[in-house]
Structure 1
């Protein structure tokens, strides 16, 4: 296995993921995941305590599609968008089919009136399927540094 090619593929996956969310292409967001996936947004305290609950949880790509459908058609919220800054990206382990990856992130929230604030900071803990082309997430844990989570968490991080 070409480790350099794996690293480039993982970096491209993570960059494309952030761009998809930041540019409001949320209908494409589920395509970054394998069919049977896990997506969880949780606090650092809950993660370190081994508590499996989260603010947002999905156990399949279908659940991610449902989330986007609800966001677009049913949820009522003040219009806003994010801008992600991600890095450094560390590949913790690679085998023939999977990579375990961690990266730090911040997400700035931009409201419809132009007001900006630091919305979230934390780590992504990822398991990436290396057999799919392009690579896809098997699991993406979004571990927030703060236990305080804004009630306006409707767009994925």
Structure 2
């Protein structure tokens, strides 16, 4: 992967974080292929090859359904997220597909103003290079802690 494409990949990761943090769900959805897989799983289950996951969606339509649920039907105490995403590490890049990983930290701030570390882990991604730019074909969020504080409403 050349330097120009690597910079585009870094920008893609930062755009993803901004879309989620700013609750720009249209932009977030547009970052996925139609048959994308999105999974949030504990490291313990990932390492032991166990299927249990906090979220497990396997199409863009399921992601759209999640957005509808988050914005229209799920009642929860309001909070904001702030993602800090490390520079991605390219595992492989060939034939219009990139395999990459990046560490992330998500901070959550509730309306009472107290910020807390909410979720820490790594993204394990398969990214398609399309005419419209990079698209996530698969995003696996493997989080380090064994449990999630309260419930997970927004994507990681």
TM-score above 0.5: yes
Q: Counterparts of 1:93-132 in structure 2 under 5 Å?
A: 93-132=92-131
Q: Does 1:20 align with 2:19?
A: yes
Q: Counterparts of 1:52-71 in structure 2 under 5 Å?
A: 52-71=51-70
> TM-score scaled by structure 1?
0.94
Q: Counterparts of 1:1-157 in structure 2 under 5 Å?
A: 3-157=2-156
Q: State which drifts further: 51-60 or 97-106.
A: 51-60
Structure 1 residue 132: deviation in Å?
A: 4.1
3-state SS in 2 of match to 1:65:
helix
3-state SS in 1 of match to 2:14:
helix
CA distance in 2, matches of 1:43, 1:22: 21
CA distance in 1, matches of 2:75, 2:27: 21
Cα–Cα, structure 1 residues 154 and 90, in superposed 2: closer, same or farther, change >3 Å?
same
Indicate if the aligned counterparts of 1:102 and 1:123 stay in contact, CA closer than 8 A. Answer: yes
- Displacement over 3 Å in runs of 4+: none
Aligned Cα root-mean-square deviation (Å): 1.2
Structure 1 residue 5: deviation in Å?
A: 2.7
Structure 1 residue 15: deviation in Å?
A: 0.5
Structure 2 regions of 5+ residues with no counterpart? none
> TM-score scaled by structure 2?
0.95
Indicate if the aligned counterparts of 2:41 and 2:53 stay in contact, CA closer than 8 A. Answer: yes
Structure 1 residue 152: deviation in Å?
A: 2.2
Indicate if the aligned counterparts of 1:108 and 1:116 stay in contact, CA closer than 8 A. Answer: yes
Indicate if the aligned counterparts of 2:10 and 2:87 stay in contact, CA closer than 8 A. Answer: no
